Structure 1
């Protein structure tokens, strides 16, 4: 009996000390918001065994020490290469109004990219026209084609791109294609992937899963490459929210159609997207793409200023929310946002509310039905404060609105892959383009108005009338946002 009591006592002490060790680790972990620390401590204390296991799997932004070291060396190496489009003063001929200069200065702090002028862009009509345009550019390519997708499905559009790459490779164009090993697992495991390889397309799966049992030892499984990048001949690039798939998105068909937005860019901005692709490619493949970044390009005398902003877990985690918040605080007349996933940190929620409170016409559009129940539920917990501040909150009824856009005073646009949630801020590699162009931004605003015309305006009364059970669920899920 005494031995049992002694053993039980020792196990209890060991368990307590282990709990204390985990709590201390949470407190000492750098680059973590206080709300996140508190949430993890509550989980570890309330459900000790489960909480500690979950923390080991999901509690830290860890892509593996060797990958971090490799990425830092790559970034330092590539950032030291002067891009062929930049002139000696580092502005690439960009003509940015003084009252917007701080936006691009903040953008430069993320990757070191200068704002560059002389860019042109076309807003794609819809998902299918984007794929058709991309295929036409691949078919016209003379030197190289570079593609990176988070999700690449072996469906109609996905296979059209496969065939275009095979045609390009067979006529001597160097084709490099990457896909996230989790998001594109069906394509990577399919015969189409092997067929591309046989045709001479160079392929890479980014952030490979490997052995699922051993994977947690090498970094979190849910840290993913969420970028969508296409670069053709160092002259054309695409940026936006669309993956390589049909809008029917058969893996989650009940939410279809997926409504995305993409832009096709030409000009100096292309080389900045090329740097992002090169850094991703060189982190997975032993091939040096530095020479592609040194290729000189003619900078057009006309065109708008733009800048690539690429974020990820090996870049400071505050980068993307800082850009969003700075844009919100810079609005003077109008701010319109579309995003499918909204789990903000406190400063971002405050910035959005402050925009409306100072008289800026502020609108945000979410999908009415979200493919992530957790995110959709958590998002609604923020509605009441937004509405009380005067923000117009819309829910899109025409499918899953997947577009990630922000327009500022009908003059500045941010478009790309980043959502307004902690996963995009801390866990995913993302790519966005920030530009100043009243004409193109007005066109983007018309697209946003099209989304709003297919949406329902959420009222403060309807949110206040929610049952206590609904509020309990919404707020509980949102409270766990820092650990999701």
Structure 2
């Protein structure tokens, strides 16, 4: 190749990079948060061609067309289910105080489920104990068992559940299982084979593959953890069906809610919708949505969120709850990559005299996310937010308490991925007793944590600050 040809190709390549930069400057900010836009544009500026290719693959938080078309058919396919849930719970709608009523209306508008009274709520923080309770409930099932989990392993914990499902099938119970294809990729072939051999209906959610006719995007996952037994007992929280120490050198601490009462029908509705999206089978038999019994005094509602929904529901809700706090906010999450709106909400809450606590895990399992997370500590501490680093285990629990009345427990982290990319589910409870129980759990975290001080944090090495801030620049892409 002549020198002229080399120069021509070099000029053409450089020109193409600037064309990509200019075009992406217009395209990227369209219908995207400023934080995410900045991350993408920085990537585009330094590496135009790799950024363009990656943007083509994961640049938009949208499911494939076939999935969007199925979701559009949900209202019609589930008209009977929606009516059945509404009829079963209409007598359970409570008269909340004005400030809580506004929160309940926001949740309903974001996720389509109303707040209902008469629920029994039990917090389960013992890892093996929560699996034991689930197995007990499966062993007591008479009609159906529905499980939806991001991770379902074939380890000791997984086999406890598999064996319980097998026993249920032998009794004539219909068992259906949904497992995220990527979250469970290390175990999925063996788990699905074991379940199918035992008569369990099982499907992988959002399978990914280059040669698949209907492949999903690798970054859009179903991160929910739901169990529903006979439409009368439900589980929701942070815990997967996997051993607590499935990651070498790390043991998880979780929090799960066992719930009974009318709100279980809403969890059933979330599972039924996800089942339809994967199988196109509408689960609308009357026995799936039995008339609820009053089992307690807690008011609760379910919020499903994810790319299927027009708003980033869980992110908006957390911001609104922090803005509405009057006394105390405690946010517990393993991954904290906030947007600017949430940072402002937390800082403003402190200025209003609200005690704001952020509980994070000192042991980490995702280095880049941890580095980006650490870059926010200085401004949070300077604003008066108290940061607690839980030392004993990887604190994988995900929950929020507001004052003495509102608890939010579910599968969602406080990061961009959970806000916009993952399908998540949260249980919101308006109850003093439940919030007091959650406060007791949080006090255990405080006692086992190292609380950061602004002076000590600012004294960390310069190299750490540089690496953390570089990670922060790409945090909207994590």
Is it true that 1:17 corresponds to 2:12 in the alignment? no
Map of 2:400 onto structure 1: 406
Selected match of 1:222 from 177, 196, 219: 219
Cα contact 2:261–2:296 (8 A) shared by 1: no
Map of 2:304 onto structure 1: 310
Q: 1:389-400 residue pairs with structure 2 within 5 A?
A: 389-400=383-394
Selected match of 1:254 from 249, 261, 270: 249
TM-score scaled to structure 1, two decimals?
Answer: 0.93
Cα contact 2:401–2:438 (8 A) shared by 1: yes
- Aligned mates of 1:154, 1:115 — CA distance in 2: 36
Map of 1:382 onto structure 2: 376
Name structure 2 gaps, 5 residues minimum: none
Selected match of 1:273 from 248, 267, 270: 267
**CA deviation profile, 1:84-125 (whole Å, cap 9, x unmatched):** 454599563324222211111110011211111111111114
Is it true that 1:199 corresponds to 2:237 in the alignment? no
- Aligned mates of 1:235, 1:206 — CA distance in 2: 25
Question: Structure 1 residues 468 and 7 mapped into 2: Cα distance closer, same or farther (>3 Å)?
Answer: closer
- Aligned mates of 1:424, 1:115 — CA distance in 2: 23
Q: 1:81 Cα shift?
A: 3.8
Name structure 1 gaps, 5 residues minimum: none
- Aligned mates of 1:434, 1:234 — CA distance in 2: 19
Question: Structure 1 residues 88 and 184 mapped into 2: Cα distance closer, same or farther (>3 Å)?
Answer: closer
Question: Structure 1 residues 134 and 3 mapped into 2: Cα distance closer, same or farther (>3 Å)?
Answer: closer
Is it true that 1:477 corresponds to 2:471 in the alignment? yes
Is it true that 1:94 corresponds to 2:94 in the alignment? yes
- Aligned mates of 1:302, 1:49 — CA distance in 2: 58
Question: Structure 1 residues 3 and 361 mapped into 2: Cα distance closer, same or farther (>3 Å)?
Answer: closer
Q: 1:76 Cα shift?
A: 5.5
Map of 2:110 onto structure 1: 110
Question: Structure 1 residues 242 and 79 mapped into 2: Cα distance closer, same or farther (>3 Å)?
Answer: farther
Q: 1:42 Cα shift?
A: 2.2
Is it true that 1:208 corresponds to 2:207 in the alignment? yes
Question: Structure 1 residues 6 and 366 mapped into 2: Cα distance closer, same or farther (>3 Å)?
Answer: closer
- Aligned mates of 1:443, 1:4 — CA distance in 2: 70
- Aligned mates of 2:394, 2:6 — CA distance in 1: 58
Q: 1:356 Cα shift?
A: 1.7
Q: 1:164 Cα shift?
A: 0.5
Question: Structure 1 residues 91 and 385 mapped into 2: Cα distance closer, same or farther (>3 Å)?
Answer: farther
Map of 1:234 onto structure 2: 231
Q: 1:446-461 residue pairs with structure 2 within 5 A?
A: 446-461=440-455
Question: Structure 1 residues 98 and 4 mapped into 2: Cα distance closer, same or farther (>3 Å)?
Answer: closer
Is it true that 1:245 corresponds to 2:236 in the alignment? no
Question: Structure 1 residues 21 and 112 mapped into 2: Cα distance closer, same or farther (>3 Å)?
Answer: same
Q: Give the number of aligned pairs.
A: 476
Map of 1:59 onto structure 2: 59
Cα contact 1:95–1:305 (8 A) shared by 2: no
Q: 1:19 Cα shift?
A: 4.1
**CA deviation profile, 1:156-211 (whole Å, cap 9, x unmatched):** 11110011011111211000011100111233211x43122122100000011123
Cα contact 1:150–1:184 (8 A) shared by 2: yes
**CA deviation profile, 1:208-259 (whole Å, cap 9, x unmatched):** 1123x779x95521111100000000001001110011212x2x12121x00
